[in-house]
């Protein structure tokens, strides 16, 4: 038996990255739910609604700025670059949503800037999703980005 014959042994999979990805996705879901609760509180004019909205959306934008590779499950160099670019877009978009919801000065201008960024990114994302939808290894990456893009467009309008 040669020493390099390891066909019968299972190959170890990295576990640390998967755990970090689940933690990052958990934080994202918790902050999205908290933002929804804050928006409901603001609609009902409950106290502390503004604080909940600002905390959740600013925290969510910082997560998208710092951890886009974990959240979008990118695999290679070009996908890493696209994930960082899309994370930056989501950061700007959620900041613009905060300005628009809170009726802060220049809120409309900041929301318009987020909208102007969303049009070319949305077209690029739709084009890339159509191209790579048939490849199962890239399908999850583009569907995760597309889902978040639709969520941001709903929040901006």
Summarize pLDDT for 45-67 with one digit per residue, the tens. 999 999 999 999 899 888 888 88
pLDDT tens, per residue, the chain with 157 residues: 454 444 554 544 555 567 888 888 889 899 989 998 998 998 999 999 999 999 998 998 888 888 887 777 777 777 777 788 788 878 877 888 888 888 888 777 877 777 777 677 777 777 777 777 677 777 777 777 777 877 777 776 6
Alpha helices, H only, the chain: 16-43, 49-66, 68-72, 77-102, 107-132, 136-156
Question: Nearest-CA neighbor of 131 among 146, 118, 115, 116?
Answer: 146
Q: In angstroms, rounded to a whole number, what is the distance separating the alpha carbons of residues 148 and 150?
A: 5
On whether the CB atoms of residues 117 and 152 are closer than 8 A, the answer is: no
pTM: 0.73
């Amino acid at each position: 038996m040669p020493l390099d014959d390891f066909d019968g042994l299972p190959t170890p999979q990295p576990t640390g990255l998967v755990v970090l990805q689940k933690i990052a996705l958990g934080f994202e879901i918790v902050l999205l739910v908290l933002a929804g609760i804050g928006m409901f509180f603001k609609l009902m004019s409950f106290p502390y609604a503004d604080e909940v909205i600002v905390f959740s959306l600013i925290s969510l934008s910082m997560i998208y700025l710092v951890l886009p590779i974990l959240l979008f499950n990118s695999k290679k160099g070009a996908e890493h670059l696209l994930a960082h670019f899309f994370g930056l877009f989501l950061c700007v978009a959620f900041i613009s949503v905060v300005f628009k919801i809170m009726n802060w000065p220049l809120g409309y201008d900041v929301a318009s800037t987020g909208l102007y960024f969303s049009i070319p990114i949305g077209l690029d994302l739709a084009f890339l999703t159509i191209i790579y939808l048939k490849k199962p290894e890239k399908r999850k990456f583009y569907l995760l980005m597309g889902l978040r893009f639709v969520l941001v467009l709903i929040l901006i309008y």
